[in-house]
Copies of this chain bind each other. A is one copy, B any other.
């Protein structure tokens, strides 16, 4: 866009043509600030917030907002200006709708990090299980990983632990799909462990013990 003959509001570079005298460089800088804030904000931004952030107000601010609106008024543009829910925001332009829809319709990424794989394995075999227990077995905090698995719909909440009150987690049908399992009974056997209640307890204990040794040994 460097080749635009009529410099628009957001660039302070270059002198302004005489006919746009109301757009002083000051307004251009203000408009640029507003544009940047609307760009990064995940929510519509109210005039009050814009005033607070830019330190401008009244007519001056209103003019700068209008300058931004003007800049994004092209119906063929990639980005459009919108006034919604008591604030201003930028959104994708109507002309780019198809590309945006194609982009958003791409299947979610189900690639699992090794941390996610470990956490999922722990939850799958020991479910229902609390986050602190997962953390204890892995030797590192489990919050982010579990949150990600929740986001992806691979685990879900399953009540609370009776004593501690901590939320317990279990795997979901989506998890079974991801691993091609027809049910949890199909989880591969671990040497010496059956999926009986007693064996699960034993597995849990073994995992705790191994984690303790690992953590005291290697720091």
Contact = CB atoms under 8 A, between A and B. Distances in A.
Contacts of A103: 37, 40-41, 45, 49, 53
Interface residues of A, number: 85
A77 B159 contact: no
A186 interface: no
A11 interface: yes
For A4, A14, A72, the residue with the greatest tally of chain B CB atoms inside 10 Å of its CB is: A4
Copies in the complex: 2
A83 interface: no
B219 A135 contact: yes
A48 to B, nearest CB: 11
A121 interface: no
Interface of A: 1-14, 16-17, 19-20, 29, 31-37, 39-41, 45, 49, 52-54, 70-79, 90, 92-93, 95-96, 98-100, 102-104, 106, 113-115, 130-132, 135, 138-141, 143-144, 147, 150, 156-161, 164-167, 214, 217-219
